[in-house]
A and B are shown apart, each in its own frame.
Chain A
């Protein structure tokens, strides 16, 4: 399995976790690490000689609050725009606290209670009747039995009656299995069990969650990375690690291009240029995750055509293709960004901004042609 496409955080950073487990501090029952070590796993630090890499960029206090929250008897709900690393943070927290991040429930409209709690092996069920052996544990069941963190991705997309099925697990820390008799019929959650849910603000579902369920969670809003330099660093690291070893290895995405890319995303997202000029906002998210994907795709594309360096034109092409897709509002926002922000920089001859401006023809005709009148 070493050549899996993507390893879960606890495997990828096993060495760091081992070092972090030597850090002193009172561990809440069932935790592999002290709370401070969990936070450090996400926001980085140093243990002895071993640097702990920063994996989640942005507000360290947010990470601390998330960890503190998980030590309490409430679940944690991470809310935010798409691509703000909610899922990534929840994976890191689960890996840090339980040493396992793979107990995951995916919220979809078709999610059923047995996918969360438990189902049955029908062959055994028919042969032996209900028995622990015939029970097929779901992530919640496993998390409670083993005292681990369970992740619930996009909780607001799940049907309410299904997510409300978590209530007893969260408040009483128990799960009843009415089909089984006696002690077997009641699973008592082991210390260390808790739930991290994520929800997308674009889904507008959080308001509709039942009040009872909301009260079982502490809410934490995850914001896009606010600091431009930090975002540039993050995007650089991500692209480098994606590119490494792949077909695009060896393709250079220069610092100036990286700056173009991230500045564009950053400015459109915040709605003002660095000089304070207001910008039109489209409906596209312009998340950091998308910046990474545009940069990576541009590199990949360059490699296919035998180029060793990504050119500003490549970026513009991918921007037009991936960000705008076929949304006229985003296309308009992007074109006006070129007028308002790119043009003045290009005319002040600011390095790659000139070439960026020159490639504006690639923005024409995307997202539906502009109306003639």
Chain B
């Protein structure tokens, strides 16, 4: 217990008064991002002119404060601390990261928007010539209690215990959240009119919350951090003996700090942690805070406060409504009448709810009420509301603020590649086959895309894309590049991954590789990504992961997909950096063999899955043929043909797959029509002929168009069936015939019908003929309605 007078913790009012009566310290309790607090904090500091202003924020950012109060600096700004947990110090690797091998990258943002009390304190303190310092413990002290507890790698400002407590639960009434309750209880013109009353009210609330908080709950890190802050306060007191010091912290801490003994936190920064300041944007803040965040609301209220408006919140409603109704593409446009209705709805809601001024909730609901006209413009209204709430503020810092190396390196490379960073959309054409400089530029652009930097149009690029198998015929790449201010923010977030785009991409690639372990298809894509980005250093380990996946991935489907990707990659190998391609050729050969050897085991496929298996077999054969034709990889079709034969011969194999295996065999000339006809009659005996034909015709349509042996067999089968069995087979039969285009169908249909009509008299056969003709025409019509150009 420090030297302060003891106060009964069960008397919140006495406690609040004692805090405010402190003559040595100007205690300023805040809620983060509260414009009312910002207004009061600024005013009080200007009035009292303390010798130092100490602010809740990571103390390793104190040396960066000059950049934040520099005259050229413009909010939104932010302090960002990062910690890459390479040694799993916090035990969250594999929990907050996708894999234990991937280190969690913890981040905490301290937003400094104009309406943030912390920002107001910095500016006012700077104005009165006070010493400025952040006094909270650095990021590592927060991680166990915030990031780990809330299971989030990225943290922003939160209300913490102020919101999560029994006292608030009693007070909240019908308010849907702490934010809504706080706004109606504390955000109002009165804050500026009578700061003392306001501060007392905030302290009484915080003291009540704290008084009801169980002792154990304080082990949420508050104790450690408060002791750390108290230590800083004591140090500052020594530096400014006999002078007043201002302390700006969350209200929950303010009611404890005067009685807290100082002790430096043990969790120190190490070389894996970094703290920097950066220019930010209201979009970045909104993304951090999540749905419903309204940075522009805070800004509008703040500027109304600054302008001395008596109803700053009502002012914000008007300002944001104007923005929203301008954005809204509403039926007949959103007129002034709409805007007026929205404002009046917000005011009525405020009145109904007993709010002195509308809250941001009243605003949003009023706007929806007045603008929404049923489902059809719901999205448009939400877009308008979102635009109004978020705003488009962009921060600025002086160039000397020490941007992280990644930002500088990326900018320098972009400049080297003559990419326009003024913001216009440009088209970049690259001849990656012939020009080394273009290849390097392409690698840089691929890295930027891999890092998800917001600098591209939609689509970002066209060119031979082996990853998707698209546009392989194109000779060069065409990019749409559009620099945006937000790229800096993204780069700042990535800064701890490495000092250059290549290093950052390699670090991200390492994470992706760990994530994709054992997945043949996903690792195949990563191999190509790494090659295109020119990530020489990491490519061997990406290849190693791909090789392992080829061995261990149990999924036939994924292996076929991977083979397709490699085959396509191989086809354009001269476009890509050639390194590693020999190893890759071996890998492809192995993948092919392993996949082929598994073909007979498809016999165990569940009949419901047979269709997928048919597609996989077709793809496999296609890839095999194209690799065989290329000649560079040791691939030949014989083991595959053998595998298909064994699959077809397996008595447990579903009929569809037998048909497909024979069809594929026929397509490469390894199976004769006679064999097929024999199988058909075998399946007919067990009423599976329809499925068999379906598999067959999906893979080899030619077989029915060519010779007539099979057609005769089908005919005999159909005519020999009793009515019931034929009827049961009909759906499969019908489907089988959709493999043909109308002209082909007509030919087949006519031939079949001709044969059947020639049969002896009698009802059932006649019906057979009719139904079969119907089947053929139905299929024909279906094809006609979708097929282009068929008559």
Say whether A69 contacts B373, CB under 8 Å.
Answer: no
CA distance A289 to B349 in the complex (A): 29
Query: Of residues B332, B338, B348, which shows the largest number of chain A Cβ atoms within 10 Å of its Cβ?
Result: B348
A61 CB within 8 Å of chain B: yes
Say whether A68 contacts B374, CB under 8 Å.
Answer: no
The segment from A180-188, A211-219, A222-230, A302-310 that touches chain B is: A211-219
- Contact residues in B for A67 (Cβ distance below 8 Å): 352
Main secondary structure of the interface of A (DSSP, over half): helix
The segment from A47-55, A71-79, A102-110 that touches chain B is: A71-79
- Residue on B nearest A212 in the bound complex, by CB: B332
Query: Nearest Cβ in chain B — how far from A363, in angstroms?
Result: 24
- Contact residues in B for A64 (Cβ distance below 8 Å): 174, 349, 352-353
| Proximity bits, B364-399, A CB within 8 Å = 1, else 0 | 011001101111100000000000000000000000
Say whether B349 contacts A65, CB under 8 Å.
Answer: yes
Query: Nearest Cβ in chain A — how far from B473, in angstroms?
Result: 41
Query: Of residues B174, B365, B369, which shows the largest number of chain A Cβ atoms within 10 Å of its Cβ?
Result: B369
Query: Nearest Cβ in chain B — how far from A239, in angstroms?
Result: 27
B354 CB within 8 Å of chain A: yes
- Contact residues in B for A218 (Cβ distance below 8 Å): 341, 345, 369-370, 372
Query: Which of B337, B345, B352, B728 interacts with A373 by CB under 8 Å?
Result: B728
A60 CB within 8 Å of chain B: yes
Say whether B348 contacts A72, CB under 8 Å.
Answer: yes
CA distance A79 to B174 in the complex (A): 23
- Residue on B nearest A76 in the bound complex, by CB: B369
A220 CB within 8 Å of chain B: yes
Per the 8 Å Cβ criterion, residues 328-375 of B in contact with A are 331-332, 337-338, 341, 344-345, 348-349, 351-354, 365-366, 369-370, 372-375
> Known contacts A60-B174, A218-B369: does B341 contact A35 (CB below 8 Å)?
no
B580 CB within 8 Å of chain A: no
Query: Nearest Cβ in chain B — how far from A80, in angstroms?
Result: 11
A190 CB within 8 Å of chain B: no
Say whether B731 contacts A373, CB under 8 Å.
Answer: yes
Query: Which of B344, B354, B369, B374 interacts with A65 by CB under 8 Å?
Result: B369
Q: How large is the interface on A (under 10, 10 to 19, 20 to 34, 35 or more residues)?
A: 20 to 34
B89 CB within 8 Å of chain A: no
Say whether B331 contacts A211, CB under 8 Å.
Answer: yes
Query: Nearest Cβ in chain B — how far from A325, in angstroms?
Result: 26
B5 CB within 8 Å of chain A: no
B791 CB within 8 Å of chain A: no
CA distance A26 to B348 in the complex (A): 11
Say whether B351 contacts A69, CB under 8 Å.
Answer: no
- Contact residues in A for B176 (Cβ distance below 8 Å): 61
| Proximity bits, A9-39, B CB within 8 Å = 1, else 0 | 0000000000000000010000000011001
Query: Which of A35, A79, A215 interacts with B374 by CB under 8 Å?
Result: A79
Query: Nearest Cβ in chain A — how far from B64, in angstroms?
Result: 42
- Contact residues in B for A219 (Cβ distance below 8 Å): 369, 372-374
> Known contacts A74-B341, A211-B332, A218-B345: does B352 contact A69 (CB below 8 Å)?
no
A207 CB within 8 Å of chain B: yes
A136 CB within 8 Å of chain B: no
> Known contacts A61-B365, A65-B365: does B352 contact A72 (CB below 8 Å)?
no
CA distance A201 to B375 in the complex (A): 9
Query: Nearest Cβ in chain A — how far from B382, in angstroms?
Result: 13
Query: Of residues A43, A217, A219, A221, which shows the largest number of chain B Cβ atoms within 10 Å of its Cβ?
Result: A219
Per the 8 Å Cβ criterion, residues 214-256 of A in contact with B are 214-215, 217-221
Query: Which of A43, A68, A207, A215 interacts with B352 by CB under 8 Å?
Result: A68
Query: Which of A36, A215, A220, A373 interacts with B369 by CB under 8 Å?
Result: A220
A206 CB within 8 Å of chain B: yes
- Residue on B nearest A74 in the bound complex, by CB: B341
CA distance A184 to B353 in the complex (A): 41
Query: Nearest Cβ in chain B — how far from A196, in angstroms?
Result: 14
- Residue on B nearest A205 in the bound complex, by CB: B374
Per the 8 Å Cβ criterion, residues 164-221 of A in contact with B are 201, 206-207, 211, 214-215, 217-221
- Contact residues in B for A214 (Cβ distance below 8 Å): 331, 373-374
Query: Which of B338, B345, B351, B375 interacts with A26 by CB under 8 Å?
Result: B351
Query: Nearest Cβ in chain A — how far from B152, in angstroms?
Result: 22
Query: Nearest Cβ in chain B — how far from A199, in angstroms?
Result: 8
- Contact residues in A for B374 (Cβ distance below 8 Å): 79, 206-207, 214, 219
Say whether B369 contacts A69, CB under 8 Å.
Answer: yes
- Residue on A nearest B731 in the bound complex, by CB: A373
- Contact residues in A for B331 (Cβ distance below 8 Å): 211, 214
Say whether B349 contacts A68, CB under 8 Å.
Answer: yes
- Residue on A nearest B729 in the bound complex, by CB: A373
CA distance A219 to B368 in the complex (A): 8
Query: Nearest Cβ in chain B — how far from A72, in angstroms?
Result: 5
CA distance A68 to B372 in the complex (A): 15
Say whether A68 contacts B345, CB under 8 Å.
Answer: yes
Per the 8 Å Cβ criterion, residues 158-217 of B in contact with A are 174, 176
CA distance A35 to B351 in the complex (A): 9
CA distance A373 to B727 in the complex (A): 10
Query: Nearest Cβ in chain B — how far from A21, in angstroms?
Result: 16
Query: Which of A43, A61, A68, A220 interacts with B348 by CB under 8 Å?
Result: A68
| Proximity bits, B721-750, A CB within 8 Å = 1, else 0 | 000000010010000000000000000000
Query: Nearest Cβ in chain A — how far from B607, in angstroms?
Result: 15
- Contact residues in B for A26 (Cβ distance below 8 Å): 351
Say whether B174 contacts A36, CB under 8 Å.
Answer: no
CA distance A211 to B374 in the complex (A): 12
> Known contacts A35-B352, A79-B374, A373-B728: does B345 contact A69 (CB below 8 Å)?
yes
- Contact residues in B for A65 (Cβ distance below 8 Å): 345, 349, 365, 369
CA distance A18 to B244 in the complex (A): 58
CA distance A182 to B341 in the complex (A): 33
- Residue on A nearest B338 in the bound complex, by CB: A215
- Residue on A nearest B332 in the bound complex, by CB: A211
Say whether A39 contacts B341, CB under 8 Å.
Answer: no
- Contact residues in A for B341 (Cβ distance below 8 Å): 72, 74, 218
CA distance A67 to B352 in the complex (A): 8
- Residue on A nearest B176 in the bound complex, by CB: A61
Query: Nearest Cβ in chain A — how far from B325, in angstroms?
Result: 13
CA distance A47 to B322 in the complex (A): 40
Query: Nearest Cβ in chain A — how far from B362, in angstroms?
Result: 9
Say whether B365 contacts A36, CB under 8 Å.
Answer: no
CA distance A218 to B338 in the complex (A): 10
Say whether B353 contacts A72, CB under 8 Å.
Answer: no
CA distance A43 to B174 in the complex (A): 10
Say whether A36 contacts B373, CB under 8 Å.
Answer: no
Query: Of residues B353, B366, B370, B374, which shows the largest number of chain A Cβ atoms within 10 Å of its Cβ?
Result: B374
- Contact residues in A for B337 (Cβ distance below 8 Å): 215
- Contact residues in B for A211 (Cβ distance below 8 Å): 331-332
Per the 8 Å Cβ criterion, residues 339-373 of A in contact with B are 373
- Residue on A nearest B732 in the bound complex, by CB: A373
Say whether B369 contacts A207, CB under 8 Å.
Answer: no
Say whether B174 contacts A61, CB under 8 Å.
Answer: yes
Query: Nearest Cβ in chain B — how far from A45, in angstroms?
Result: 9
Say whether B372 contacts A39, CB under 8 Å.
Answer: no
- Contact residues in A for B731 (Cβ distance below 8 Å): 373
- Contact residues in A for B372 (Cβ distance below 8 Å): 218-219, 221
Query: Nearest Cβ in chain B — how far from A159, in angstroms?
Result: 19
CA distance A43 to B173 in the complex (A): 13
CA distance A26 to B350 in the complex (A): 13
8 pairs from A and B in contact (CB 8 Å cutoff): A35-B352, A61-B176, A68-B366, A214-B331, A217-B373, A218-B370, A218-B372, A373-B728
- Measured CB to CB, the residues of A under 8 A from B are 26, 35-36, 39, 43, 60-61, 64-65, 67-69, 71-72, 74, 79, 201, 206-207, 211, 214-215, 217-221, 373
Other A-B contacts than A206-B373, A219-B369, A219-B372, 17 sampled, CB-CB below 8 A, are A35-B351, A36-B354, A61-B365, A64-B352, A65-B349, A67-B352, A68-B369, A69-B348, A72-B341, A72-B348, A214-B331, A214-B373, A215-B332, A215-B337, A217-B373, A218-B341, A218-B370
Q: Which 6 pairs between the two chains have the least Cβ-Cβ distance?
A: A68-B348, A206-B374, A35-B352, A68-B349, A218-B369, A214-B373
